[in-house]
């Protein structure tokens, strides 16, 4: 009741009281209960960013062409033209709210349009998935039908500050336009940067509608600083970047997500080089679903997908999954399903929503503009994600290792192995660890180190050794069967190893057997073949920062450190691969902070 009164109060303050939302909801429910005809979804088109609508159309075509379709029905798309701001879009928003056949709305690129529009969609019981709205207020009312598709501004600001810290920025200039979105993100970044010991030579706001910023730049151009934080709409940001360079400010520009648009690179030209921005989609080609999406999109539209296309594609597929699980188009059931789905993986990463509709599991990558093209700054997101994992543990009143600092040190192989085991324990939360290892001296030393860590982290260790040297494969397999059978009855998790001559398929069968006993198998360290059935694998991130293009990119944006110093800090950073369905089956996703690490490599 309180939430309903709040929504009605917001509607009255924004739009007056001319709409009968109770009637809209009743009609929408009646049509959903009949489960007839097509399923209608609306999307907002932005002429400057056509990829978003194309991604939606691709996902919709694939669903309609599948044998089962969606609940046996076709999807139909209603397209509205956006980009003119909320005041211009309001009549169409209200028209969508009055359409009783409509299930959901995808779109509204900006927070300034999405935030007030969310009030109408909430009152009309329309599921709302805005693709790029990060403003904190979007989910500040704890609405039931609003789900953001990117992390919010507090998360973005914290990750931007972490990146600035990792790149060695100790003194910065803060520039932001005087709109609500830019002001919010700038203030949040200011707080996060100060918490990391970053100081500011200047803090200045400016108008996005002005053409000449030279007087503003002149106030700080002669001072010493490492980078500029720029939060502004695309065109104004490009204009500021050009004038910064004209006046001799050549330091890197750390920008908000509004600068990722192609229009920024075109308008800024050479002045945009050295601009670093957060993105939620980075084509990697390592995941089969991402490759299939990229191939299908290129076949349909003749070019590679961009972040807009990926966001549109994921939004439509996530909505379809919620409808499929709910087995109805009744929007209250669809929204409830989205809230309680443990996770859903798309081409842009892992999606899991909290009660307010904020997104967990998805992260920002970073890219830098150079010679007119965007290039990935590989691995730069890892310190932040490890810090977030630790913060989640502290919030649960547990003592958690400072993984970002620990992985950033030079480590002997045995120390790296123990640190990876520590991270595995944080993710899997085991209390009784089983180890399956060769019967050699290094393995016995590994057991001793694991037991020492268990004394600190409060878990026990039971080791089972398999004599492999000089043994026939059949004998090794029999020994493995004995080990896994014994450990399945007394362990929460089993750290496994590969054995020469033993096929991955055989180990996979053993891992599957463990899973039946609610025991997850995991592996640490490098392996050319990861056996199937693993719940978790932790390796070193393969980052080449010492030579080639990676070194050149980082050399352009680093301050107060050399490239080799950053390479040394990053060389032991963990690559975490997870089997999300298995972890969910084991109950790990509900009782750990694993999604805080936002793993982007998934087994099976």
DSSP letter for each residue of 329-368 = --HHHHHHHHHH-S-EEETTEEEEE-TTS-EES---EEEE
Give yes or no for residue 103 having a pLDDT over 70.
yes
Residue 70 gets which letter from DSSP? B
SS3 206: strand
Give yes or no for residue 218 having a pLDDT over 90.
yes
Give yes or no for residue 537 having a pLDDT over 80.
yes
Report the b/e string of 198-219 with b at 16+ CB within 10 A.
Answer: bebebeebbebeeeebeebbee
Mean pLDDT value of segment 531-544: 84
What is the structure's pLDDT at 589?
Answer: 81
Length of the chain (residues): 604
What is the structure's pLDDT at 494?
Answer: 97
SS3 381: coil
How many degrees, rounded to 5, is the angle at CA 254 between CA 250 and CA 257? Answer: 140
- Give the integer Cα–Cα distance in Å for 349 and 274: 26
Average per-residue pLDDT for the chain: 91
Mean pLDDT value of segment 301-324: 97
Is the Cβ–Cβ distance between 362 and 151 less than 8 Å? yes
Is the Cβ–Cβ distance between 46 and 312 less than 8 Å? no
Of the spans 186-195, 273-282, 352-361, 591-600, which averages the highest pLDDT? 186-195
**Given pLDDT bands bounded at 50, 70 and 90, which one contains residue 544?**
confident
Is the Cβ–Cβ distance between 293 and 305 less than 8 Å? yes
SS3 547: coil
Give yes or no for residue 2 having a pLDDT over 70.
no
Q: What number of H helices and E strands is found in the chain?
A: 23, 21
Q: Provide the percentage of residues in the chain whose pLDDT is more than 70.
A: 94
Residues 256-269: tens digit of each pLDDT? 999 987 889 999 99
Is the Cβ–Cβ distance between 383 and 404 less than 8 Å? yes
Mean pLDDT value of segment 587-597: 78
- C-alpha distances (whole Å) from 1 to each of 4, 6, 22, 332, 407 are 5, 9, 14, 16, 49
HSE-CB at 318 with a 13 A cutoff on CA atoms is 36
- Give the integer Cα–Cα distance in Å for 421 and 4: 48
Mean pLDDT value of segment 48-60: 95
Angle at which helix 86-98 crosses helix 21-34, to 10 degrees, equals 50
Residues 142-173: tens digit of each pLDDT? 999 999 999 999 999 999 999 999 999 999 99
Give yes or no for residue 128 having a pLDDT over 90.
yes
Give yes or no for residue 24 having a pLDDT over 60.
yes
- Give the integer Cα–Cα distance in Å for 509 and 369: 47
- Give the integer Cα–Cα distance in Å for 602 and 348: 13
What is the structure's pLDDT at 198?
Answer: 98
- Give the integer Cα–Cα distance in Å for 267 and 255: 15
Give yes or no for residue 4 having a pLDDT over 60.
no
Give yes or no for residue 136 having a pLDDT over 70.
yes
Residue among 43, 59, 32, 36 nearest 125 (CA): 32
SS3 71: coil
Domains of the chain: 2-150+285-362 (3.40.50.2300), 154-279 (3.40.50.2300), 398-602 (3.40.50.2300)
Q: Report CA 202 to chain centroid distance, whole Å.
A: 31
Give yes or no for residue 16 having a pLDDT over 50.
no
What is the structure's pLDDT at 183?
Answer: 96
What is the structure's pLDDT at 10?
Answer: 56
The H or E element containing residue 369 is strand 365-370
What is the structure's pLDDT at 499?
Answer: 86
- C-alpha distances (whole Å) from 335 to each of 35, 131, 353 are 17, 16, 11
Q: How many CB atoms lie within 10 A of CB 294?
A: 18
Is the Cβ–Cβ distance between 388 and 400 less than 8 Å? no
Residue 445 in tokens: 């030393």
Q: Report CA 154 to chain centroid distance, whole Å.
A: 14
What is the structure's pLDDT at 102?
Answer: 98
- Give the integer Cα–Cα distance in Å for 452 and 418: 10
Residues 6 or more apart in contact with residue 84 via CB below 8 angstroms: none
> Higher-confidence residue: 283 or 66?
66
- Give the integer Cα–Cα distance in Å for 259 and 244: 15
Residues 225-278: tens digit of each pLDDT? 999 999 999 999 999 999 999 999 999 999 999 998 788 999 999 999 999 999
What is the structure's pLDDT at 332?
Answer: 98
Mean pLDDT value of segment 11-22: 64
What is the structure's pLDDT at 286?
Answer: 62
SS3 572: coil
**Given pLDDT bands bounded at 50, 70 and 90, which one contains residue 551?**
confident
Q: How many CB atoms lie within 10 A of CB 339?
A: 16
What is the structure's pLDDT at 297?
Answer: 97
Q: Provide the percentage of residues in the chain whose pLDDT is more than 90.
A: 75
Check residue 59 and give left, alpha or beta (phi > 0: left; psi -120 to 50: alpha).
Answer: alpha
Is the Cβ–Cβ distance between 31 and 63 less than 8 Å? no
Is the Cβ–Cβ distance between 170 and 251 less than 8 Å? no
């Amino acid at each position: 009741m309180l939430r309903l009164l709040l929504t009605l109060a917001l509607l009255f303050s924004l739009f007056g009281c001319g709409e009968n939302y109770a009637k809209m909801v009743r009609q929408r429910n009646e049509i959903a209960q009949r489960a007839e005809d097509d399923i209608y979804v609306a999307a907002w088109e932005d002429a400057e960013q056509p990829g978003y609508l194309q991604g939606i159309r691709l996902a919709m075509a694939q669903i309609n062409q599948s044998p089962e379709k969606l609940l046996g029905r076709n999807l139909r798309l209603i397209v509205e033209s956006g980009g003119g701001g909320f005041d211009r879009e309001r009549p169409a928003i209200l028209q969508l709210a009055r359409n009783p056949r409509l299930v959901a709305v995808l779109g509204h690129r900006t927070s300034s349009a999405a935030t007030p529009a969310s009030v109408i969609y909430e009152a009309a019981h329309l599921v709302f998935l805005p693709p790029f709205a990060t403003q904190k207020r979007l989910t500040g009312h704890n609405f039931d039908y609003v789900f953001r598709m990117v992390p919010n501004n507090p998360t973005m600001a914290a990750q931007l500050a972490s990146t600035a810290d990792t790149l060695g920025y100790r003194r910065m200039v803060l520039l932001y336009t005087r709109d609500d979105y830019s002001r919010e993100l700038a203030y949040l970044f200011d707080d996060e940067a100060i918490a990391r010991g970053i100081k500011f030579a200047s803090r200045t706001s400016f108008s996005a509608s002005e053409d000449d910023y030279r007087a503003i730049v002149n106030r700080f151009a002669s001072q010493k600083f490492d980078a500029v934080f720029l939060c502004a709409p695309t065109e104004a940001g490009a204009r500021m970047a050009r004038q910064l360079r004209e006046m001799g400010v050549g330091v890197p520009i750390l920008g908000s997500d509004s600068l990722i648009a192609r229009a920024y690179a075109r308008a800024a030209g050479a002045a945009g080089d050295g601009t670093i921005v957060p993105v939620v989609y980075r084509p990697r080609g390592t995941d089969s679903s991402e490759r299939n999406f990229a191939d299908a999109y290129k076949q349909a539209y003749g070019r590679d997908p961009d972040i807009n296309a990926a966001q549109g594609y994921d939004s439509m597929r996530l909505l379809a999954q919620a409808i499929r699980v709910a087995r109805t188009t009744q929007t209250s059931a669809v929204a409830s399903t989205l809230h309680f789905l443990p996770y859903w993986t798309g081409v842009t990463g892992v999606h899991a929503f909290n009660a307010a509709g904020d997104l967990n599991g998805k992260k920002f990558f970073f890219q830098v503009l150079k010679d007119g093209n965007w290039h990935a700054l590989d691995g730069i997101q890892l310190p932040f994600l490890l810090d977030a994992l630790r913060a989640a543990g502290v919030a649960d009143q547990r003592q958690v290792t400072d993984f970002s600092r620990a992985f950033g040190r030079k480590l002997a192989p045995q120390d790296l192995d123990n640190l990876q085991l520590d991270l595995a324990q944080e993710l899997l939360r085991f209390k009784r660890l089983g180890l399956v290892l060769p019967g050699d001296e290094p393995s016995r030393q590994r057991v001793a180190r694991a037991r020492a860590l268990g004394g600190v982290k409060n878990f026990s260790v039971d080791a089972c050794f398999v004599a492999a040297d000089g043994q026939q494969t059949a004998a090794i397999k029999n020994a493995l069967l004995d080990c896994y059978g014994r450990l399945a009855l007394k362990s929460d998790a089993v750290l496994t190893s590969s054995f020469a001559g033993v096929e991955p398929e055989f180990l996979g069968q053993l891992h599957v057997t463990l899973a039946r006993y609610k025991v997850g198998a995991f592996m640490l360290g490098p392996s050319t073949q990861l056996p199937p059935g693993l719940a978790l694998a932790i390796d070193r991130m393969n980052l080449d920062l010492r030579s080639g293009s990676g070194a050149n990119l980082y050399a352009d944006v680093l301050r107060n450190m050399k490239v080799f110093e950053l390479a040394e800090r990053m060389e032991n950073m963990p690559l975490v691969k997870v089997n999300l369905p298995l972890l969910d089956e084991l109950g790990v996703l509900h009782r750990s902070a694993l999604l805080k690490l936002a793993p982007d490599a998934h087994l099976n």
